[in-house]
Amino acid sequence: LAKTTQPISMDSYEGQEVNITCSHNNIATNDYITWYQQFPSQGPRFIIQGYKTKVTNEVASLFIPADRKSSTLSLPRVSLSDTAVYYCLVGDIGRDDKIIFGKGTRLHILP
Amino acid sequence: GAVVSQHPSWVICKSGTSVKIECRSLDFQATTMFWYRQFPKQSLMLMATSNEGSKATYEQGVEKDKFLINHASLTLSTLTVTSAHPEDSSFYICSARARDRRSTFGSGTRLTVV
C-alpha cells in the first residue's frame, strides 16, 4: 500500500477553487487514486477516483501527472458546506487491498 | 448507487455491557466488509476485515475477543463490543466492498460507554 502525504489543513473562501495535493511517491503500477470526503460524525463519502491524467465528475476534478507520484483534487467554487476532511487513498482496486486512511486534509471554508 | 446502512447511529451503554452494531449493504452484495474506529480529530483506524462465511482478520493491537465480528451473509456484518469500557467510546464505521471493488461506507455509530 502506497503511503500518502497531504497538508494537515487548508483554509479558503466561498466561491474560490480549492486544490488539495496528495503525494504518493511509492505508487504501484496497478494502484488507483481515490479521494473521500468526511463530515463530522459521518462516514467517508466517495468523491472521485482516477488512474492517470484527468478525471472530472459533477463535484470535483482529479489531476494526475504522468509520473503519478502525486495527485490534486480540485473543488470548483467551494461553499461553506464543503468544509470537511478530505482523504487521499492509493491502492490496487483489482485486489482485495485493505483501505488504510492517512491523516487527511481538514478544509475550512470561510464566508 | 450503493448504499450501506449502519445501525444504530448512536448508542449509550453502561460499562461492562455489550453492544452490537450492524452494517448492511442494501442494494449490493458485499464480498468484504471493513470495520474502523475513529477518535475525535483523528483519522479512521482499520480494526478488522471480514469476508462472508469466514473469520475476520484483525489488525495488530485489536483484541478479537473484545471486538467480535460476524459476517454471516453477503449483505450483513456485525461488530459486537463486549464488556465495553469508557475507553471503547468512539465512532465506529463500517465499509462494504462490492464485487466491482468499489467501497461504500456506513454513516457510523457513536458509542458512548458510561
User: Tens digit of pLDDT for each residue in B30-66?
Assistant: 889 999 999 999 999 999 999 888 889 999 999 999 9
Most B CBs within 10 Å, among A22, A99, A106, A108, to test the B interface: A99
Please answer whether residues A36 and A86 qualify as being in contact, where contact means their C-beta atoms are separated by less than 8 angstroms: yes
Cis peptide leading into residue A7 (ω within 30°):
no
- How many other CB atoms sit within 10 Å of the CB of residue A93? 18
Asked if A42 and B108 come within 8 Å (Cβ–Cβ), the reply is yes
The residues with which A90 forms a beta bridge, in sequence order, are A33
Q: Is the pLDDT of residue A82 over 70?
A: yes
Q: Is the pLDDT of residue A78 over 90?
A: yes
Asked if A101 and B95 come within 8 Å (Cβ–Cβ), the reply is no
Interval A14-31 mean pLDDT: 95
Confirm or reject contact between A59 and chain B (CB < 8 A). no
Residues 6+ away with beta carbon under 8 Å from A65: A71
Question: Which residues of chain A neighbour B43 with C-beta distances below 8 Å?
Answer: 87, 101-104
Confirm or reject contact between B54 and chain A (CB < 8 A). no
What are the tens digits of pLDDT across the range B83-107?
A: 999 999 999 999 998 877 778 999 9
Calculate Rg over the CA atoms of chain B: 13
Q: Distance between CA atoms of A42 and B95, rounded to whole angstroms? A: 12
The residues with which B109 forms a beta bridge, in sequence order, are B92
Please answer whether residues B89 and B111 qualify as being in contact, where contact means their C-beta atoms are separated by less than 8 angstroms: yes
**Nearest C-alpha in A relative to B97:** A96
Of the candidates A41, A94, A102, the beta carbon closest to that of B91 is on A41
What are the tens digits of pLDDT across the range A41-68?
A: 999 999 999 999 999 999 999 999 999 9
Of the candidates A43, A45, A102, the beta carbon closest to that of B43 is on A102
Question: Which residues of chain B neighbour A45 with C-beta distances below 8 Å?
Answer: 105
Confirm or reject contact between B32 and chain A (CB < 8 A). yes
pLDDT confidence tier of residue A94, bands split at 50, 70 and 90: low
Starting at the edge strand that comes first in sequence, how are the strands of the sheet with A70-75 ordered? Answer: A18-23, A70-75, A61-64, A53-56
Q: Is the pLDDT of residue B4 over 80?
A: yes
Grid coordinates representing B12 are 449509550
- For the four alpha carbons of A95, A100, A105 and A111, in that order, the dihedral sign comes to positive
What pLDDT score was predicted for residue A2? 67
To the nearest whole Å, the CA of A94 is away from the closest chain B CA by 7
Please answer whether residues B80 and B68 qualify as being in contact, where contact means their C-beta atoms are separated by less than 8 angstroms: yes
The residues with which B65 forms a beta bridge, in sequence order, are none
Report CA B43 to chain centroid distance, whole Å. 15
Question: Which residues of chain A neighbour B45 with C-beta distances below 8 Å?
Answer: 101
Question: Which residues of chain A neighbour B97 with C-beta distances below 8 Å?
Answer: 96
Grid coordinates representing A56 are 472530472
Q: What angle do CA A80, A106, B108 make, to 5 degrees?
A: 90
pLDDT confidence tier of residue A99, bands split at 50, 70 and 90: confident
Asked if B43 and A96 come within 8 Å (Cβ–Cβ), the reply is no
Q: Distance between CA atoms of A69 and B51, rounded to whole angstroms? A: 32
- Of A2-6, A95-99, B108-112, the poorest mean pLDDT is in A95-99
Report CA A95 to chain centroid distance, whole Å. 21
